[in-house]
Amino acid sequence: SAKHHGKQTYRVFEPQLMEVIQRQRSLEAALRRASMRDEFRIVYQPVFCSAKGEITGAEALLRWTCPEHGEISPTEFIPIAEELGLVARIGADVLRKACKDAASWPAHIDLAVNVSPVQLLDPRLPQTVAQALADSGLSPSRLELEITETALLNNDEAALRTLTQIRDLGVRISLDDFGTGYSSLSYLHRFPISRIKIDKSFVQKLPDDVGSASIVRAIAQLGSSLSMKITAEGIETDSQLSFIKEHGCDEVQGFLTGRPIALADFLVLTGQQAENVEA
Ligand code: C2E
Ligand code: MG
Ligand code: MG
Ligand code: MG
């Protein structure tokens, strides 16, 4: 009853909470306008073969500079885009643009693109991927989509169908942030996954943290017995790199070997374009 309700009312809107809510509202409004205003850009983080140190690919990472709030991390704006129903379109734009960029890279350099759990729920995703490949001319064998375990959790029948269709296009699937979610081994078996990316939270505690070292070793062994490739993410130090090399991770990605960079800089890195010559 109203009387009862009145008694139970208490004050939750602390000034700080109000600020958080206002920022959220404002970001939502700004995100709705962002695509139209061309505020997104993609940066590329190089991925290297750990044995030889040669570049094997790059991960496309989305960046948004909001006119009102400045640079916003994708860990903040992707969840908002998911809630607002914008992530399918933003994700399709990333795929289209990144495939177009990668089509002009040397053929041994692969492209990885992140796919949100909400995108994976959309049965039109395989068609979106096929279209991005067709428009760009990028070979499907050079594209890898990164998904997280969350995406497989509640809708595994639908996810399996969608991922199988994508696999049948010749595109690979990798499991990102491995070790942080539910890490059910049945996922690895049930879904067409060809790579595991070990989450940076473990890699960053190497080599001293015994627990993280064991987890990384175990994932590397698991990967090799399931014939999956392993990438270690978030390598920042030489000792982390040494550990990873010793324990059979195939590829490395981290600030030590290369930060995410603009396309033009990535082209310089891969030797496709001379660095600016002084006039
Ligand atoms: P992720 O897919 O796991 O991407 C790796 C993140 O780790 C990137 O953060 C990258 O900059 C960061 N990183 C790489 N090496 C290091 C390192 O050595 N040290 C540290 N501290 N960090 C490192 P970023 O770009 O901020 O992206 C965060 C997350 O946002 C991504 O995590 C991914 O889940 C999501 N995301 C980014 N771009 C997209 C996108 O286009 N679509 C979707 N759906 N999600 C995206
Ligand atoms: Mg290749
Ligand atoms: Mg990723
Ligand atoms: Mg990751």
Q: Flag whether the pTM goes above 0.90.
A: yes
* Ligand 3 centroid distance, CA of 148 (Å): 8
Indicate if ligand 1 lies below 6 Å from the C-beta of 235. yes
- pLDDT tens by residue, 184-203: 778 888 899 999 999 999 99
Question: In this predicted complex, what is the ipTM?
Answer: 0.98
- Return the ligand 1 atom nearest residue 94 CA: 41
Indicate if ligand 1 lies below 6 Å from the C-beta of 109. no
CA distance 162 to 88: 15
Indicate if ligand 1 lies below 6 Å from the C-beta of 117. no
Q: Note whether 263 and 42 are within 8 A (CB).
A: yes
Q: Tell me: cis bond preceding 123? Omega within 30 of 0 counts.
A: no
CA distance 244 to 226: 18
Sign of dihedral through CA atoms 275, 144, 236, 224?
negative
- pLDDT tens by residue, 124-162: 999 999 999 999 999 999 999 999 988 888 778 899 999
Mutate to test the pocket of ligand 1, among 114, 120, 122, 206 (most ligand atoms within 8 A of CB): 114
Question: Which residue in 119, 123, 180 sits closest to 151, CA to CA?
Answer: 119
Indicate if ligand 1 lies below 6 Å from the C-beta of 126. no
CA distances to 19, 67, 140, 191 from 27, in Å: 12, 10, 35, 35
Helix axis angle, 125-136 relative to 156-168, nearest 10°? 20
